[in-house]
Amino acid sequence: MERNRSTLKSYFETGKYPTQTQFAELIDSFLSIVDDDAVTGITDNGDGTYTFQLLSGSTETIDVQSLPDDIPISAIVGLQAALDDLPSQYLRKDQDGTLSGRLTVTDRINTSRIDTNSGQQLVLNAGESAGQATGQTNEYIYLNSEQGIEVNTSPDNWASGWSGRDTTKISGSEIQLKSSNTRLSPADGNSLRIDTGTGYIEVGSKNTSHCHFYTDRTNFYFNKELRVDSGIVSSYNEDLQLTRAGSSEDRFRVTTGYCISDQNFLVYGRGAQTLTMRAYSNDANTPCYMRFEKLDGTDRSYIGYGSSSNSHLYIVNQEGTDCYLMLKTNGEAEFNNNVRADNFILSSDSRLKTNIKPLEKSMNFDFVEFELKKNEGEKRYGVIAQEVEENHPELVFTDEEGMKQVKYIDLLVAKVAELEKRLAVLENN
């Protein structure tokens, strides 16, 4: 700490140290030091003398025997250490308490409060350069009663003002980053608002039900995938649409409400493109179904595909236990009940046929009456596939599960042809 003739006189109040008058007389009587020459250290020479090191580089030696009896040398030698250990009430230039200028501390200051006489601002900075009126330069902390707190860690030319400086500023309830380019402030409902030069976003719970995200931009952009732990993505009173970026055609939409119109579930794709909908089974040998049901759950049906061995498309009953319709990958269709239609039209163009010749073979099988096991009590008429297969294997089809099926149209055509021949013989006789 700098010590010279003027300031030493005003450092201390009356106490255990020499009074101001005594100290002034001591300095004036034993040292020839000009006002601007400061004492920087005291050395005990071990021979009854002490050497005072001065800021100018010179020294002054005092013989302790020449000191008055009421001023012991211990009071002078211990003066410098005492200044560091004793908290002072004032750091001042004159008795009226005016500012003394600059205080330089090489280690640290421990205090509970730092006041500024102006009542406006306090600047803590790591250095200054010429030509800067307020002294704010390099890395600094700036406290102002009107503008709040400002922290600068990467300054540029002060003459350009705050614009473009790498600063953090607290102004009222707002935090400003890089001279207001990015601002953090409270929004409605205690949410947090982040403003930039291009727009804003508000994040936070504005009520007790939801966490809200608001923005003035046209959409939100995520550069990574968006994961939802609950597995639920919903839309409030609007159609839910998942759209491919930059396309108005490739999209998926689920409409709102309980209507059963023609647009409850829509999937759009570009023309001439394959639109794929996938459902996966955890077991490759187990069919996988999509279920469709009424709102109250009373009626339902399933559409799905078979195991990996066939991958046929199934329409299953509402219990999910019996297949009503099977559309096979080879183009065949199997029905597990009656088929109703106004008519059946079969391909019969000669251009589709070969090896055409008259039917000469007699149909050797019996027509029988029977009941299906699943519909006991309901009488049916037809043939037994195994019996037909013995003489007419071309009329019997065996599926993947070994079940026998009969080509009834071919069978009936052949039987009618046989009857036509018999009738012709009878008519000719």
pLDDT of the residue at 391: 92
pLDDT of the residue at 42: 77
Taking CA atoms, 181 is separated from 137, 171, 175, 201, in Å, by 20, 14, 11, 14
Biggest distance spanned by C-alpha atoms of the chain: 175
pLDDT of the residue at 46: 80
Dihedral angle over CA of 56, 59, 65, 66, nearest 10: -50
CA triplet 165, 170, 176: central angle to 5 degrees?
Answer: 50
Q: pLDDT for 71-96, tens place per residue?
A: 555 555 555 444 444 444 434 444 44
CB 410 within 8 A of CB 395: yes
Task: Provide the phi-psi class of 331: left if phi over 0, else alpha when psi is between -120 and 50, else beta.
Answer: left
Sheet strand arrangement including 300-305: 288-293, 300-305, 313-316, 323-327, 333-335
- Residue 47 half-sphere exposure toward CB, CA atoms < 13 A: 4
**Cα distance between residue 141 and residue 320, in whole Å:** 73
Which of 399, 419, 420, 396 minimizes the C-alpha distance to 408? 396
pLDDT of the residue at 282: 60
**Cα distance between residue 270 and residue 276, in whole Å:** 12
Rg of the chain taking only CA atoms, in angstroms: 52
10 Å CB burial of residue 35 (0-12, 13-18, 19+) is exposed
Distance from the Cα of residue 26 to its chain's centroid? 74
Write the DSSP string, 65-87.
GGS-TTS-HHHHHTHHHHHHHSP
Amino acid at 163: S
pLDDT of the residue at 307: 60
pLDDT of the residue at 27: 61
The sign of the CA dihedral 222, 227, 229, 235 is positive
With a cut of 50, list the residues of the chain below it in pLDDT.
1-15, 32-33, 35-36, 80-97, 128-136, 155-164, 257-261
